A and B are shown apart, each in its own frame.
Chain A
Amino acid sequence: MNAVDRDLRPVRGRLDETGRLVEADSRLADLNEAAGGAMGAPLAIPGLADVGRLVRKLGVTVSRKLVMADGQGDLELWVRAEPDSGGVRLALSAWRERTAAARIEEGQGPPLVASYGAWRWETDAALRLIALSSQAGPRDGFHPAAVLGQPLTGLFALAEDADGGLPLLAALAINQPFEGQQAAVRPSGRRVVLAGVPRRDRLGAFAGFVGTAFDVAAGAPRASASIDLFVTRLGAALRAPLGHIIANADSIGAAPDGPIQDAYVGYAADISTAGRHLLGLVDDLADLEAIERPGFAVAREPIDLADLARRAAGLLAVRASAAEVSIERPVEEAALAATGEFRRVLQILVNLIGNAIRYAPPGSRVSVAVERRGGTATVTVADQGKGIAPGDHARVFDKFERIDPAEPGGSGLGLYIARRLARAMGGDITLESAPGDGTRFTLLLPARA
């Protein structure tokens, strides 16, 4: 982050009534020349020429931030353009190099409204509170009217971090976002963590913070609670918008209002696939959180494993036919009594069959077969795909590992979750495979007499 070049005198210039550059300090003349212009010719710097046109057209002073090319990089500066007897007088100040970080950060809006006891607050440039969530106050024994219009520090007592710094003030000095500012709500002493994004005025200068205050006790800082936090808050927050994205992308792709270009159908399909992948990831993380929580338990209920295998195969019939793969499922009259949780066993089988379909070559067959081996009931899902090298057999059950990382889709959590679930039900999942010989995953569960 470069410091703003405030000490330099503004660079000046003048355009005549037709937009030609007729006066210019050397720095402006150089930039104009680099852009292919010359003195006495129309101004060649596009953004600046636009401002000049606007001022000639409106006849009013225009002040705004401008970005212009300078050699390999971008320059960011403030321009003030005033009408001047038919022409336009320019004053350019506060030059600075524009970094990639600045470009990214410009795309950031104010932070999302945080949920679960977090407040949202907003200040003006003088750090006076100009907005506060309506739920703020009662819990900490004050009325918002007592703190609105007052300095932010009247509500929050800011605490230094481990290095003795105050993230909020450091961010204020460089007009940047901050997070992790420890503070106490003055009326109650309750500890919160503040985060904020600067609002900028039309010249790009600091115009206030828009921020949130998280309750430390309910908040994220504890590492062990981080997945829990993700699942309960972000997971819930992501599902609905992702659902909308997928549904809209699908409807764009289906071109219900008439033909659209093939390229756009492709883009829509990409958006939809990416959305489904993310939705799957959210679901997987929810499962991961559940199985890794202390005290996780599954129900031990009587189930018919053959019936479940048929159901799982049925659920994936459409996906299989899209992939040109046929599924061979247990015959209708087959039954195999076992013990496990209905919902979780179905989940495991959907995962195993889904994987098999993903890796099966078109035209091949995925077989789903049930068998009783002594006290164990088994379902074996076999594909005719390229198989898995013996050295990788253990790895595919690890967290975030994929059978084939080059294949699209999947979070790398499915098999990990499936095996954890199977073991929680007193069973297991085993794998037999060799390269070129297909893959056989077997779910084993306690059989029931």
Chain B
Amino acid sequence: MSVEPDPRRELSRRAGAFLARAENGGLRAGCRLASVASDLRMADEDRLDDRTRAAFGALIESLFGTIRSEVAGHAARTLAAGGHEMIAEALLTTQRDDKRLAAILLADHSVLRELDGRVRQDLLADALVAHERDDSDQPSLLPRLAGERDPLIAGPAMAMLLALGRRATPLESGALARTDLSAETHHRFVWHVAADLREAVGRLANARTAMLDRALVAAAERSLAAHDEGIGLEPSAVKLASALGSAGRGGRAMAIEALGDRLLALFIALVAEDVGLDYDIARDAVLDRDGARLWLMLRAMGMDREAIGRIGLALATADRHRSLDDLAGDLDVAVATDLDAARAMLAIQSLPAAYRQAREAMESAR
């Protein structure tokens, strides 16, 4: 038994929204046409599925929520201490349009790439099925590594365990214990959220806008200072893979065990480490439903048909959009590829990203 809202109050609220919609009508028409054009151009395999779309939405909401409550909370304390309780209260209670903010931030290609990679990596990792272990009484890979004496291995292994816990179990409210973003992306998020809060309560501040700006800037700087990108999941996996590689313990067997333990980030980092590529490039190859690039990387690691097939099958079991028929055809070609040829094909990609981008820029400027 529920009581519906007062119809008169509801009507006046809707009237305001109605006028705003009318005002924005022209803009919307342009956006709609752009959407139609991009939708028609889009290939089916590039279309977001519902699960990915929902996970993306949830991540964006959590990131904004987490950063906003941090920045608004700190700025509000500063303002309240200065006797501006009303502005402080408004900062804490304002409702913002995450979609608008997301559109601005995601227009940056590097931000979009980072979030897209994270969402798809987490979804794939979640769907992976563990492989059977020879001795199930022995701890699995990560607890074993975290318990080693060598701090170069135990340290990042423990950081990975902590980061996996954060990823797998968000706080009650959907807020994140840490954003786990790269420093650049975290930076962009924090300043945009601060600017968005400024826009929301700027009108209330009247003559006191300079003080509002100072409080928001101090809060944003505090959040930036507290951020440590090195303890995120991916940087920890990269550090661990590098330590294992230096100790001569990386490579094929370790990568296969990592995937068998559902440690997708470590698997990606081990592949990247072994073939000398950036984590992002190896991740793109792992997340690409067309496995060609990944098979080439695995071949360059010296994997045989059985090993590549095992990895291909594990990924196809976790993602029903991957084709087993294509995998069967690809395996023959991959194992027929000479190891040196595979390495040579990856060599260009293994050059530093900045150098490759600079070369591309020179090419296009010619």
Interface residues in chain A, defined as those with a beta carbon under 8 Å from any beta carbon in chain B: 54, 57-63, 113, 115-116, 119-120, 122, 124-126, 128-135, 144-145, 148-150, 199-203, 205-208, 279-280, 283-284, 287, 314-315, 343, 346-347, 350-351, 413-414, 417-418
Interface residues in chain B, defined as those with a beta carbon under 8 Å from any beta carbon in chain A: 1-4, 7, 129-133, 136-140, 142-143, 146-147, 157-158, 161-162, 164-166, 168-172, 177-178, 261, 305-306, 309-310, 312-313, 317, 324-325, 327-328, 331
Report B-chain residues with C-beta under 8 Å of the C-beta of A202.
129-132, 317
Report B-chain residues with C-beta under 8 Å of the C-beta of A315.
4, 7
**Out of B139, B165, B170, B324, which one reaches A58, CB within 8 Å?**
B324
Q: B313–A62 contact, CB under 8 A?
A: yes
CB distance from B62 to the nearest CB of A (A): 13
Compute how far the CA of A115 lies from the CA of B138 in the bound complex, rounded to whole angstroms: 32
Compute how far the CA of A280 lies from the CA of B7 in the bound complex, rounded to whole angstroms: 20
Q: A60–B131 contact, CB under 8 A?
A: no
Q: A133–B169 contact, CB under 8 A?
A: yes
**Out of B130, B162, B312, which one reaches A144, CB within 8 Å?**
B162
Q: B313–A134 contact, CB under 8 A?
A: no
**CB-defined A-B contacts under 8 Å, sample of 24:** A54-B324, A57-B325, A59-B328, A124-B139, A125-B130, A126-B143, A128-B139, A130-B140, A130-B143, A131-B164, A133-B169, A133-B171, A134-B165, A134-B166, A135-B177, A148-B158, A149-B147, A199-B130, A200-B129, A200-B130, A208-B130, A280-B1, A280-B2, A283-B1
Report A-chain residues with C-beta under 8 Å of the C-beta of B140.
124-126, 128, 130, 208
Report B-chain residues with C-beta under 8 Å of the C-beta of A62.
313
Of A113, A120, A134, A202, chain B has the most CB atoms within 10 Å of the CB of: A134
- Known contacts A57-B324, A132-B169, A280-B2; A205/B132 CB under 8 A: yes
CB distance from B257 to the nearest CB of A (A): 12
Q: A60–B310 contact, CB under 8 A?
A: yes
Compute how far the CA of A60 lies from the CA of B311 in the bound complex, rounded to whole angstroms: 10
**Out of A58, A145, A279, which one reaches B327, CB within 8 Å?**
A58
Compute how far the CA of A413 lies from the CA of B306 in the bound complex, rounded to whole angstroms: 62
- Known contacts A202-B132, A315-B4, A414-B1; A149/B142 CB under 8 A: yes
Of B2, B169, B325, B328, chain A has the most CB atoms within 10 Å of the CB of: B169
Given contacts A119-B169, A206-B136, A347-B2, list 18 more A-B pairs with CB under 8 A.
Answer: A58-B328, A59-B305, A59-B328, A125-B130, A125-B136, A126-B140, A128-B140, A131-B169, A132-B169, A133-B169, A133-B171, A134-B162, A145-B158, A203-B132, A208-B130, A280-B1, A350-B1, A350-B4
Q: A58–B1 contact, CB under 8 A?
A: no
Compute how far the CA of A155 lies from the CA of B4 in the bound complex, rounded to whole angstroms: 48
Q: B1–A314 contact, CB under 8 A?
A: no
Q: A126–B158 contact, CB under 8 A?
A: no
Compute how far the CA of A54 lies from the CA of B313 in the bound complex, rounded to whole angstroms: 10
Compute how far the CA of A58 lies from the CA of B133 in the bound complex, rounded to whole angstroms: 23
Q: B331–A59 contact, CB under 8 A?
A: yes
Report A-chain residues with C-beta under 8 Å of the C-beta of B2.
279-280, 283, 347
Report A-chain residues with C-beta under 8 Å of the C-beta of B161.
130-131, 145, 148-149
Report A-chain residues with C-beta under 8 Å of the C-beta of B139.
124, 126, 128, 149
Q: Which residue of B lies closest to A115 (CB)?
A: B172
- Known contacts A347-B3, A351-B1; A130/B142 CB under 8 A: yes
Q: B169–A113 contact, CB under 8 A?
A: yes
Q: Which residue of B lies closest to A283 (CB)?
A: B2
Q: A201–B165 contact, CB under 8 A?
A: no
**Out of B1, B147, B172, which one reaches A116, CB within 8 Å?**
B172
Report B-chain residues with C-beta under 8 Å of the C-beta of A150.
143
Report B-chain residues with C-beta under 8 Å of the C-beta of A414.
1
Q: B7–A314 contact, CB under 8 A?
A: yes
Q: Which residue of B lies closest to A62 (CB)?
A: B313
Compute how far the CA of A57 lies from the CA of B313 in the bound complex, rounded to whole angstroms: 12
Q: B136–A126 contact, CB under 8 A?
A: yes
Q: A120–B172 contact, CB under 8 A?
A: no
CB distance from A357 to the nearest CB of B (A): 14
**Out of A54, A134, A148, A351, which one reaches B169, CB within 8 Å?**
A134
7 interchain residue pairs of minimum CB distance: A60-B309, A134-B177, A149-B143, A124-B140, A57-B328, A149-B146, A207-B130
CB distance from A121 to the nearest CB of B (A): 8
CB distance from A60 to the nearest CB of B (A): 3
Compute how far the CA of A46 lies from the CA of B176 in the bound complex, rounded to whole angstroms: 46
Compute how far the CA of A343 lies from the CA of B317 in the bound complex, rounded to whole angstroms: 54
Q: B133–A125 contact, CB under 8 A?
A: yes
Compute how far the CA of A202 lies from the CA of B328 in the bound complex, rounded to whole angstroms: 20
Report B-chain residues with C-beta under 8 Å of the C-beta of A59.
305, 309, 328, 331
Compute how far the CA of A129 lies from the CA of B130 in the bound complex, rounded to whole angstroms: 16
Q: Which residue of A lies closest to B335 (CB)?
A: A59
Compute how far the CA of A108 lies from the CA of B328 in the bound complex, rounded to whole angstroms: 32
Report A-chain residues with C-beta under 8 Å of the C-beta of B129.
200-202
Compute how far the CA of A382 lies from the CA of B129 in the bound complex, rounded to whole angstroms: 61
Q: Which residue of B lies closest to A343 (CB)?
A: B3
Q: A60–B168 contact, CB under 8 A?
A: no
